[in-house]
């Protein structure tokens, strides 16, 4: 009986030690840089924690080495106990399997999962108290851990060129995102400001093809256009910069600025054109924003890989990605949203993301609050289909240019084509349908 008590006491003591090292590892190395700086202001442990994080090799070696020694000891004791209890009753193979399973579950739950969860949850409080203890343990273990740390550094040098470069930009973005979330939680950054910063970071992942004004929607004029004709078009469309082509629209030779046209009296517009800035459609938006700043320009001509005109991206297009939709009077007129009884009328050029956010609730609310959430969920138009507008979604689903009156069903909504102009869907009716 005394042996049994002694066995449980030893196992309990070893499990506590193993849990301590697991808590130590998770609490120290889950700390963010800003948390360490806060601890430094309030406790002498802050400097120790900073040194651990800046030079983690020896600390990790110490923690893991001692933890593994303890876990091996637990495994040996439990296996020995099972052998003494079950020898003669079960075969040695079955005894070994039982011992391994019991030990594995015991160590995983009580020495790894629970302690590490506690360590992460209470990282700041625990690390302040743990740091001095680990510092002295590390001093005692230094001769042994020095060898392991040296070996790990050598292996890291061999593999780091293959790994670190590809991870650096992702890690930097993750750190910035974490700081934004922290600032928002602490109230130092407003939610609207957080959204703007988040949108700015996302620009690196968005290609120009996603935000450009496509060639069919452009006001693009031949170089032969007279000054008076150009003025008429500019006043009608209220644009400040117009691409000018020679021969065909793929051959853009310059950008006409409305202020230059107003200040000039010459009838030939070719003499007042600005040099166009050509960019590939695969360029990301953030790169173009930086180039706009350097070149002090507000407009870029986007070409595909064959040199054909894809469209135009302006500084306003980029700012809309950062700050949200900035619609002028003409855009409001084209994409006007009219609500009549239980149906909506929208412009075919309305962006899918704006439709999902602004229109679905209005179109479906007549069905009652009980079913509203489910109906909205099943009626959302996917935003990952390389389609930008609701008109484009209908066109893609039908598979050809629809005629006026044709419709598609998407979840609990029916989208009916009301008007088609110049091979484009310009007006759509949105209404709820009964399941």
Instruction: Please identify, in words, the CATH class of the domain defined by 329-432.
Output: alpha beta
Q: Copy the structure tokens of residue 215.
A: 């060639």
pLDDT in tens, 198-238: 778 788 888 888 888 888 888 899 999 888 888 888 888 77
Q: What is the CA 48 to chain-centroid distance, rounded?
A: 34
8 Å CB contact between 381 and 393: yes
Say how far apart CA 317 and CA 325 lie, in whole Å: 9
Closest CA to 394 of 360, 367, 420: 420
Say how far apart CA 176 and CA 430 lie, in whole Å: 40
Q: What is the pLDDT of residue 363?
A: 78
**What 3-state DSSP class applies to 88?**
coil
Closest CA to 4 of 84, 98, 92: 84
Q: What is the pLDDT of residue 327?
A: 52
Strands 221-222 and 241-246: parallel
Question: Domain residues of the chain, as ranges?
Answer: 2-163, 207-323, 329-432
Which DSSP state fits 307? S
How many of the other CB atoms lie within 10 Å of CB of 54?
A: 8
Say how far apart CA 6 and CA 310 lie, in whole Å: 79
Q: What is the CA radius of gyration of the chain?
A: 33
Say whether 329-432 and 207-323 share the same fold.
no
Instruction: Please identify, in words, the CATH class of the domain defined by 207-323.
Output: alpha beta
Q: What is the pLDDT of residue 19?
A: 94
Q: What is the pLDDT of residue 333?
A: 45
User: Can you list the residues of the chain whose pLDDT is less than 50?
Assistant: 162-170, 329-334
pLDDT in tens, 3-15: 788 889 999 999 9
């Amino acid at each position: 009986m005394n042996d049994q008590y002694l066995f449980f006491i030893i196992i309990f003591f070893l499990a506590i030690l193993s849990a301590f090292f697991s808590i130590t590892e998770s609490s120290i190395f889950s700390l963010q840089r800003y948390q360490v700086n806060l601890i430094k202001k309030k406790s002498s442990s802050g400097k120790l924690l900073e040194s651990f994080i800046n030079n983690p090799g020896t600390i990790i070696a110490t923690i893991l080495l001692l933890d593994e020694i303890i876990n091996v000891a637990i495994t040996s004791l439990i296996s020995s106990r099972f052998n003494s209890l079950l020898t003669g009753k079960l075969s040695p193979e079955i005894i070994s399997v039982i011992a391994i399973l019991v030990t594995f579950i015991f160590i995983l739950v009580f020495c790894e999962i629970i302690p590490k969860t506690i360590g992460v949850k209470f990282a700041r409080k625990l690390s302040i108290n743990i740091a001095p203890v680990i510092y002295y343990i590390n001093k005692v273990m230094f001769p042994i851990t020095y060898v392991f740390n040296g070996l790990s550094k050598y292996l890291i040098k061999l593999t780091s060129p293959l790994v670190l470069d590809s991870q650096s930009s992702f890690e930097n973005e993750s750190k910035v995102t974490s700081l934004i979330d922290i600032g928002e939680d602490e109230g130092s950054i407003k939610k609207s400001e957080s959204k703007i910063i988040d949108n700015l970071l996302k620009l690196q992942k968005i290609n120009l093809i996603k935000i450009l004004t496509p060639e069919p929607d452009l006001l693009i004029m031949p170089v032969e256009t007279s000054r008076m004709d150009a003025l008429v078009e500019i006043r009608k469309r209220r644009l400040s910069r117009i691409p000018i082509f020679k021969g065909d629209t793929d051959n853009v030779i310059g950008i006409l600025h409305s202020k230059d046209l107003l200040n000039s009296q010459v009838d030939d517009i070719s003499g007042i054109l600005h040099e166009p800035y050509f960019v590939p459609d695969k360029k990301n938006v953030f790169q173009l924003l930086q180039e706009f700043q350097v070149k002090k320009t507000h407009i870029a001509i986007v070409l595909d890989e064959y040199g054909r005109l894809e469209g135009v991206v302006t500084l306003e297009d980029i700012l809309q990605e950062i700050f949200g939709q900035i619609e002028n009077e003409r855009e409001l007129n084209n994409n006007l949203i009219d609500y009549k009884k239980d149906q909506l009328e929208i412009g075919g050029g309305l962006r899918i993301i704006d439709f999902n956010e602004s229109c679905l609730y209005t179109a479906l609310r007549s069905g009652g609050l009980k079913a509203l959430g489910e109906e909205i969920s099943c009626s959302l138009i996917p935003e990952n289909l390389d389609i930008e507008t609701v008109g484009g979604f209908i066109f893609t689903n039908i598979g050809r240019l629809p005629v006026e009156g044709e419709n598609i069903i998407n979840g609990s909504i029916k989208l009916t084509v009301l008007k088609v102009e110049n091979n484009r869907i310009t007006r759509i009716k949105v209404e709820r349908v009964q399941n």
